[in-house]
């Protein structure tokens, strides 16, 4: 069960990135494909700096919780803003459940 949750954690990371990409590509701007690439790129940089196991400025404790809330929340909010309300709700629910299990199991 713990191993499955690690897989789910990885999938919700990808889901947050996909949500940001979808949001960017649905905006009515001159080059929506560019925004569709830039939005997840910003999330990748933030994850590399603060969230990954080898992050340069690794967040811990309450800072880590806040960072993950904002990071994963950005994916869900991006989906909601793009009009994918059901997917946004699903991502948010799976994030809460999986992150709760990760905290209980010290993952």
Task: Give the pLDDT confidence of 32-90 residue by residue, as tens digits.
Answer: 999 999 999 999 999 999 999 899 999 888 999 999 999 999 999 999 999 999 999 99
Looking at residue 106, its pLDDT comes to 86
Q: Using a cut of 0.85, tell me whether the model's pTM lies above it.
A: yes
Residues in the chain: 107
Query: What distance in Å separates the CA atoms of residue 88 and residue 50, rounded to the nearest whole number?
Result: 24
Looking at residue 53, its pLDDT comes to 87
Are 19 and 91 within 8 A, CB to CB? yes
Query: What distance in Å separates the CA atoms of residue 44 and residue 98, rounded to the nearest whole number?
Result: 20
Dihedral, 39, 65, 51, 83 alpha carbons, nearest 10: -20
Looking at residue 85, its pLDDT comes to 98
């Amino acid at each position: 069960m713990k191993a499955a949750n690690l897989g789910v954690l990885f999938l919700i990371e990808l889901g947050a990135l996909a949500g940001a990409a979808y949001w960017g590509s649905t905006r009515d701007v001159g080059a929506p494909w560019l925004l569709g690439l830039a939005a997840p790129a910003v999330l990748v940089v933030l994850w590399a700096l603060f969230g990954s196991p080898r992050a340069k400025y690794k967040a811990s404790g309450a800072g880590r919780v806040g960072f993950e809330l904002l990071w994963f929340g950005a994916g869900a909010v991006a989906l909601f803003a793009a009009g994918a309300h059901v997917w946004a709700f699903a991502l948010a629910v799976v994030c809460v459940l999986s992150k709760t299990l990760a905290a209980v199991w010290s993952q």
